[in-house]
């Protein structure tokens, strides 16, 4: 009994297999202009129009076409078994937004020597030379050009509607104060001591005087005078 049931199940699978395999269809996609990228359910198919997407499962799908310069095109499509669904799209060009302001405003072209200098328009940094500033409203502006090692360059310009104002700045090198330092060599004074040997002869000192012994005659004269005086005093 089990063997018979197994055989019946196998027979049913064999009969239903072609149905399961055939549960797919195709999508034919075209566009005007051609060359649009084709996306299916948000995934790129890697093809461009005209194209045929094969082996798509039965059911509802979203086809997206994308091309530069045109708006994206999307369409829902129903895929039937063993059938080919068709998507034909007319792409709409992207409108370029052109405002009256952009047309009526002017521009400024700024160049400098040397180049690669910073540009300021009314104290607002705009980039480095050479540079073109677009969509500048008409009026007067102060342009300042700066570069390291050079003096700032500035000028007032006028911008007119629909015209370009050219600015050419010649930068002057910065003048730096140079202090000249003069080094005066220091003279080294050498003191030379010269010893001169004198040839003058030192005078020989006189011999010291030798005391002379007192004369005995002088002593007796003195004693005699004293005695005479004493006699004279007694007679008186």
Per-residue confidence (pLDDT) for residue 105, from 0 to 100? 87
**What structural domains does the chain harbor?**
23-90 (2.60.40.10), 100-170 (2.60.40.10)
- Neighbouring-strand partners of residue 48: 37
Q: What is the pTM of this model?
A: 0.36
pLDDT in tens for each of the 236 residues of the chain? 555 655 665 665 565 554 445 589 999 999 999 999 999 998 989 899 999 999 999 999 999 999 988 999 999 999 998 999 999 999 999 876 544 444 568 999 999 999 999 999 998 999 999 999 999 998 999 999 999 999 999 999 999 888 899 999 999 998 876 555 555 555 555 555 555 555 555 555 555 555 555 555 566 666 776 766 666 666 55
CB atoms within 10 A of CB 56: 19
Give 171-175's long-range contacts (Cβ < 8 A, gap of 24+): 171/112, 171/113, 171/114, 171/117, 171/145, 171/147, 173/149, 174/149, 174/150
Neighbour order of strands in the sheet with 139-146 = 124-128, 118-121, 139-146, 153-159
226 backbone dihedrals φ, ψ, rounded to 5°: -65, -40
d(CA 71, CA 43): 18
Per-residue confidence (pLDDT) for residue 167, from 0 to 100? 93
d(CA 11, CA 4): 11
Per-residue confidence (pLDDT) for residue 161, from 0 to 100? 87
């Amino acid at each position: 009994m089990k063997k018979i049931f197994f055989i019946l199940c196998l027979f049913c699978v064999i009969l239903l297999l072609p149905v399961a395999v055939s549960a797919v269809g195709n999508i034919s996609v075209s566009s005007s202009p051609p060359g649009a990228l084709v996306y299916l359910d948000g995934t790129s198919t890697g093809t461009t129009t005209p194209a045929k997407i094969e082996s798509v499962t039965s059911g509802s799908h979203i086809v997206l076409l994308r091309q530069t310069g045109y708006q994206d095109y999307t369409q829902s499509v129903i895929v039937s078994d063993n059938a080919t669904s068709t998507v034909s799209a007319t792409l709409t060009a992207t409108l370029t937004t052109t405002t009256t302001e952009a047309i009526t405003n002017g521009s400024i072209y700024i160049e400098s020597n040397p180049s690669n200098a910073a540009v300021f328009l009314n104290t607002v940094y705009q980039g480095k030379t050479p540079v073109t500033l677009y969509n500048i409203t008409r009026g007067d502006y102060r342009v300042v050009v700066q570069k390291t090692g050079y003096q700032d360059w500035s000028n007032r310009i006028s911008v007119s509607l629909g015209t370009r104002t050219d600015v050419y700045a010649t930068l002057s090198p910065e003048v730096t104060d140079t202090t000249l330092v003069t080094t005066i060599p220091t003279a080294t004074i050498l003191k030379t001591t010269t010893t001169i040997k004198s040839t003058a002869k030192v005078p020989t000192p006189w011999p010291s005087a030798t005391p002379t012994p007192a004369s005995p005659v002088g002593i007796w004269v003195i004693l005699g005078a004293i005695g005479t005086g004493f006699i004279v005093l007694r007679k008186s």
